[in-house]
Chain A
Amino acid sequence: MLSFLHPWVLLALAGLPLLWRLLNALPPAPLEMLWPPTGLLGDLRERTPPVHRPPWWLVLLRLLMVASLIFAAAGPQWHRADGGGTDGEKQSHGTIWLVIDDGFASAEDWTARQRLVRRLIARFGEEGARFVLIGTAPRAGEKSFDVRTAQISAPIDAFAARASLESMVPAPFAPAHAALAGWLAERAANNDLPAEPDRILWISDGQKWKGTKRLASLLARLAPLDRLRLSAPPGGGPYALLPPERDDQGGWRLAVVRPPHGAAAEILLVGLAREGSPLGTAIVRFSAGETRSKAYWKAEFSGLTLDRFVLRDGTGARGAARVWRLDRRSRRLRIGIVAGPQDSARPFASPVYYLERALRPFGTLSTGALTDLLARVPDVLVIADRPMLAGQVRQRLSEWLARGGLLIRFAGPAYGNETDRLHPLPLARGARVVGGRLSWERPHHLAPFSAQGAFAGLATSSALKVRGQVLALPGGSTSGAILARLDDGTPLISSAARGQGRIVFFHTSADAQWTNLPLDPLFPALLRRVLWLAPVVSSGASGSGTRAADSGIAPDGLLPPRLILDGFGGLVAAPPGVKAVPLAGIDSTPISPMAPAGLYGAMERPFVRNLQGPSGIGVIDPDFHFTPDPGPWTKVRDLLEGARRDLAGPAFLLALLLLVADIVATGWLKGWMRRLARHGLHSARIADSGRRMRRLGLLLMAAALIPPLSHPLAQSGGDDAAFAIAATRETRIGYIPTGDPVRDERVRAGLSGLGRLIRLRTSVRLGEPMAVDPARRPLALFALVYWMPRADDPPLSPAASAEISRYLAAGGILFIDLGADETSVPPPSGAGGTGTLSRLLGTGVMMPPLVPLDERHILARSFYLLDWFPGRHDGAPVWVTTDSIGNEPKVSPIVIGRNDWVGAWALDGNGGFLVPELAGGLEQREYAFRFGVNLVIYALAGTYKGDRIHLDAILERLKR
């Protein structure tokens, strides 16, 4: 059934016959014009025949066009004759349940999801419906579904529903459809539902979870059910990171899954330090329809500790399944084992052999003399069965300990009796060996490990025997210092903090002389737990005393929850219901609402539980994959618009198509095609019949289309070598093309002008600048790369962004000139980059903290002594990285300004300046050039001018 919003507009249709007459009233009245030289044209005879009437079909076409415009303007609406379901039930919307999947898969398009629910609330709220909001995912700290919890609201009106929708956030769990179905079935059986539903709308995340089918059938039984889903988010997700694996080279193998039917996509895997600086990126590529893709990640920046992996696409989507956090257990420690020449002579008799084999999986090993090892500042030092330490070596070892080292010592027959105080407990003199002075009738076994201690959860074996040990002096011991005991209660492993470091002492040997422990599988497990105690060695002389050397384990062996993962992959404070996790169960406790993913233990050095984990424990196990739910789905549009269908759009479209047809037809009638063909003929100098020349014209048009297609193919051949030779034959400045030819030409002219001046004033011979596209070419061929982005530029591609971050890490200088035009990028406001620039640079580039350039910086001294850095503009500060100032300056990899220097440097073709006048006159021009000279020298010579190495010689010369 057809109806109109504005039926009176249709009256205009009556005017169509008038239009018909108008279109046919030809020729139009001539324009009356005065023109003095008319007399010269007295006998002019026109060769063009007078215009005829337009063909009838053209008039019809135009009439149709006008008619469909009128039709569209009248607001036509189509009502389905049968499906008046929604419209007919206007009054019957009592209570509507909005069942919302809010698991981790919903997080990526959560705002779109909320927008949809808002529209649904608006649509049905108008008709007086009340709503019950039900989230299907469990909440951290909540045992079960309940009306009292946030997941299921009481019946509320549209306003309140919208408010509670705004406060709804996704949870870092899979939707618990089975549990919800069970709970609802129970309540329904007792007639105890929150509110009797009249209609149920289920906003699904499109995936099939455990119990989805059951919940669907249950809900359909309760009330008419409409299941809705969103179209896939723009980034192609949801994506889920599977549990990563580390390889021997210190890189990580990672796999990412996504639902089927996705388009080809490229997302970025970024490894971040704790403060959020990227340490390296890897590109994860999906071809169309691919559900699982692998990537290999390797750190590009050392020095900072890898804290987490994050999956990023260009859309800024976040999700709990996109994050994987690391803790001390994944840290790769630098372990030094003290060894002498005799150790390699008799390998099986040496503790070093057993220690190396036990520790190899947990870190990078190095063996050697203690002094050599200390020079490398390892995280852990293992000293087995060595005499007591004395003198300077002991002093250095103590300093290293105080800075946060972990010292593991083993006793043994060669262990001296001197007390060097580098034990957790005071030791008795002499060893206690079977048959020795302190009598032992038989070898002892290990006592079971304390459930609260560092070794909680490890099982001792009766095959383990200890035949010899070094005893601690009684009385001085504290129970907390003893991590493991023999079955007679004497300490086997003891531990104590020293400064920020820690000593762990095995009271027995690390070889097979006193015990068979080093031969047992328990030995590496024990050592691994010991390594968890490793604090962080600070490289500074002495750290701030606040960092406790504690192991992060509560005295009762429980790890209290500190921060838990939210649905977006961020961290939030743990709600009260979340339970502490025992250390022994840190890896074996399944991720659940009571023990969710998050950080446990000490805030400083927490244990991490990730969403990803082994099968049965993590929400995302290594075999995880998305299973799309087949539906059936209700169309969102149908639900929102009811059964009405707006026909105005199609009618407008029809009018537009008719207009295009009219233009083409008119053009044909006017002979554009013929003229085009004639023109082609003229240029080709071929005279022939009309048909032939028309064909020729078409051929010429086709030929004109071919070069743009073949061009990139021709260029994509391997001309990298040619480029590299061209870039390095002379010293050149590179610039990143922006795609705006005017700006690029200006930058090129500016750099060329600077090159000429530098040639005049310094011994540097710069070649002409070259455009270098970081997505395709290595930037490392250039010492200095100029970039002039504007705020409305598109961000750099991931490949370009990765290349820039490689370039910066490799020691290149990127000079970013933001210009000062209206659309220029806002300058960095202080430390760290700003949003726009970061967006332009892409996700992979770390923006270091910045400070304004002043005259003490090397950049202001590298050739000229400068205290003014103007370009075409003046006054905006120039930003350099904070580590490029001070006593041991580094070269600032990024220099940012907005003074438009190329504007001041650029020469036009005639030897004049492109910008003829600067506000500050010649002096400003001179200073702009001087800044350019300094910049180039800085890029070429680095911190040479800041080097004090020649200070003595200079002073000597001054004295003379």
Chain B
Amino acid sequence: MRRAIPGFPHLSARPVPAPSSVADVPDLTLLFERAREAVSRLPRQVIRPARSVRIHERGIHGRRRAGPGDSFWQFRHYHAGEPAYRIDWRRSARSEHLYVRQQEWETSRILWIACDLSASMNYRSRKDLETKLEAALTLVFAAAVLGWQMGELIGVAGIPGRPFAASARRRLIAAFARALEAGDSDAFDTFAATRLPPHGRAILVSDFLLPPARLERLLARLAEARIATSLVRVEDPAERDFPFTGRVRIEGLEGEAPLLLENAGMARDEIDARLAAHARGLQALAMARGARLVTLGTDRPLADRVLSLAGLLAQ
């Protein structure tokens, strides 16, 4: 079915269907397409300022020419009069000439994206909602697309190797597919252990139902590397307001001990207070490390969520 885009009758768009079944492994290509479409519908000005503002900064935007930067670009012959410390002795020793190591002139940075793939993410309280995992992956992909549009490289937390350029879209999706298949549930820990080049930004998407110590360690690591971090908390409506009444046994998804409530309705106030305390704790943690935290409910429209994300990236 093709339908006209309002206001642009000569254009048309194919709506991307929402994931229908309770598939354990989400269709990543589909999610990526949805993310890309959502980003394509964003107002231009949300994306543009980032590029213009940062063009003069020293970043990771490779200029494909020699210049100040962290990555190797090429060796060239030593010219007389240059400071001697520039000579790369190791290379020069292999031949008769003296060589100087040149780094790429980088104005680009790496945008790190991290998605929580743990079991608790595979949850939705109503059939008409996405699971948190789907929502998180969509957001991560949207962040990637946005990053590419801003001319940045995308680094995926927990996946070693070169950052992904815009052309490496398929590779990015494949990497996530592999991570999902492997049941990689401790991406944050891996991320914390990775060697991080300084500067750049990171987007962490998760429900943040993890021990605060783990998160704290990661945030500390990121702050150390002077990486501007944003936390995107994906939240199912049932996690915001305790939904159950009556006699209920509730169980977590990561092997927590089940809890029997004799009268869940009466305990609701107490439970809601705990949820609020948890949210406050997260906020405090993020603030302490200079990170910013937004909470996006899966019941909010996708365009809305992507807009919030773009707002985070634009700053």
List A residues at the B interface (Cβ < 8 Å): 27-42, 44, 46-51
* Contact flags B224-247 to A (C-beta < 8 A → 1, else 0): 000000000000101100001011
B275 contacts A by Cβ under 8 Å: yes
Known A-B contacts A33-B244, A37-B275; the reply to A47 vs B266 at CB < 8 A is yes
Contact B209 A39 (CB under 8 A): yes
Known A-B contacts A41-B274, A42-B256; the reply to A35 vs B263 at CB < 8 A is no
- State which residues 246-304 of B face A: CB under 8 Å: 246-254, 256-263, 266-267, 270-271, 274-275, 278
Known A-B contacts A30-B260, A42-B257, A48-B262; the reply to A36 vs B244 at CB < 8 A is no
Residue on A with the closest CB to B262? Answer: A50
Known A-B contacts A41-B271, A44-B267, A44-B271; the reply to A35 vs B252 at CB < 8 A is yes
Contact B239 A37 (CB under 8 A): yes
A33–B278 CA distance with the chains assembled, in angstroms: 21
A35–B262 CA distance with the chains assembled, in angstroms: 16
A28–B261 CA distance with the chains assembled, in angstroms: 12
Known A-B contacts A27-B262, A34-B123, A50-B262; the reply to A40 vs B275 at CB < 8 A is yes
A850–B274 CA distance with the chains assembled, in angstroms: 73
Residue from the list B209, B247, B257, B263 in contact with A37, Cβ < 8 A: B209
Which of A27, A40, A41, A44 has the most chain B CB atoms inside 10 A of its CB?
A41
A152–B246 CA distance with the chains assembled, in angstroms: 75
Q: Across the interface, which residues of A come within 8 angstroms of B236, CB to CB?
A: 36
Q: Across the interface, which residues of B come within 8 angstroms of A51, CB to CB?
A: 247, 262-263
Closest beta carbon of chain B to A765's beta carbon, Å: 45
Residue on A with the closest CB to B132? Answer: A36
Residue on A with the closest CB to B239? Answer: A37
B134 contacts A by Cβ under 8 Å: no
Q: Across the interface, which residues of A come within 8 angstroms of B238, CB to CB?
A: 35
Residue on A with the closest CB to B265? Answer: A48
Q: Across the interface, which residues of A come within 8 angstroms of B123, CB to CB?
A: 34, 36
Contact A34 B259 (CB under 8 A): no
Residue from the list B239, B252, B263, B275 in contact with A46, Cβ < 8 A: B263
A191–B270 CA distance with the chains assembled, in angstroms: 97
Q: Across the interface, which residues of A come within 8 angstroms of B256, CB to CB?
A: 38-39, 42
A44–B157 CA distance with the chains assembled, in angstroms: 35
Closest beta carbon of chain B to A930's beta carbon, Å: 34
Contact B262 A36 (CB under 8 A): no
Closest beta carbon of chain A to B43's beta carbon, Å: 26
**Could you show 22 A-B contacts with beta carbons less than 8 Å apart?**
A28-B247, A29-B247, A30-B249, A30-B260, A31-B244, A32-B251, A33-B251, A34-B251, A35-B239, A35-B250, A35-B251, A36-B123, A37-B209, A37-B252, A38-B256, A39-B256, A40-B275, A42-B257, A44-B259, A46-B262, A46-B263, A51-B247
B106 contacts A by Cβ under 8 Å: no
Residues of A contacting B: mostly: loop
A42–B267 CA distance with the chains assembled, in angstroms: 13
Which of A37, A38, A50, A51 has the most chain B CB atoms inside 10 A of its CB?
A37
A41–B252 CA distance with the chains assembled, in angstroms: 10
B104 contacts A by Cβ under 8 Å: no
B152 contacts A by Cβ under 8 Å: no
Query: Which 6 A-B residue pairings sit nearest by Cβ, starting from the closest?
Result: A38-B252, A39-B256, A48-B266, A30-B247, A35-B250, A36-B120
Closest beta carbon of chain B to A633's beta carbon, Å: 59
B130 contacts A by Cβ under 8 Å: no
A113–B252 CA distance with the chains assembled, in angstroms: 74
Residue from the list B132, B207, B251, B263 in contact with A38, Cβ < 8 A: B251
Residue on B with the closest CB to A37? Answer: B239
Q: Across the interface, which residues of B come within 8 angstroms of A32, CB to CB?
A: 248-249, 251
Known A-B contacts A37-B239, A40-B274; the reply to A46 vs B266 at CB < 8 A is yes
Contact A31 B247 (CB under 8 A): yes
Q: Across the interface, which residues of A come within 8 angstroms of B274, CB to CB?
A: 40-41, 44
A198–B236 CA distance with the chains assembled, in angstroms: 83
Q: Across the interface, which residues of A come within 8 angstroms of B209, CB to CB?
A: 36-37, 39-40
Closest beta carbon of chain A to B243's beta carbon, Å: 8
Known A-B contacts A39-B254, A40-B274, A44-B274; the reply to A33 vs B248 at CB < 8 A is yes
Q: Across the interface, which residues of B come within 8 angstroms of A36, CB to CB?
A: 120, 123, 132, 207, 209, 236, 239, 252-253
A39–B250 CA distance with the chains assembled, in angstroms: 10
A46–B132 CA distance with the chains assembled, in angstroms: 29
Closest beta carbon of chain A to B59's beta carbon, Å: 37
Residue on A with the closest CB to B252? Answer: A38
A-B contact sample (10 more), CB < 8 A, given A36-B252, A51-B247: A30-B248, A31-B246, A33-B244, A35-B250, A36-B132, A36-B253, A38-B250, A40-B275, A42-B257, A47-B267
A34–B209 CA distance with the chains assembled, in angstroms: 14
Contact B250 A48 (CB under 8 A): no
Closest beta carbon of chain B to A80's beta carbon, Å: 51
Closest beta carbon of chain A to B284's beta carbon, Å: 16
Residue on A with the closest CB to B266? Answer: A48
Residue from the list B120, B247, B259, B262 in contact with A41, Cβ < 8 A: B259
Closest beta carbon of chain B to A43's beta carbon, Å: 10
A36–B248 CA distance with the chains assembled, in angstroms: 14
Contact B247 A27 (CB under 8 A): yes
Q: Across the interface, which residues of B come within 8 angstroms of A35, CB to CB?
A: 238-239, 244, 250-252
A46–B248 CA distance with the chains assembled, in angstroms: 12
Closest beta carbon of chain A to B61's beta carbon, Å: 39
Q: Across the interface, which residues of B come within 8 angstroms of A49, CB to CB?
A: 262
A31–B259 CA distance with the chains assembled, in angstroms: 11
Q: Across the interface, which residues of B come within 8 angstroms of A39, CB to CB?
A: 209, 252, 254, 256
A51–B245 CA distance with the chains assembled, in angstroms: 14
Closest beta carbon of chain B to A52's beta carbon, Å: 11
Contact A48 B244 (CB under 8 A): no
Q: Across the interface, which residues of B come within 8 angstroms of A31, CB to CB?
A: 244, 246-249
Known A-B contacts A36-B236, A51-B262; the reply to A46 vs B247 at CB < 8 A is no
Closest beta carbon of chain A to B81's beta carbon, Å: 65
A48–B238 CA distance with the chains assembled, in angstroms: 22
Residue from the list B250, B257, B278 in contact with A34, Cβ < 8 A: B250
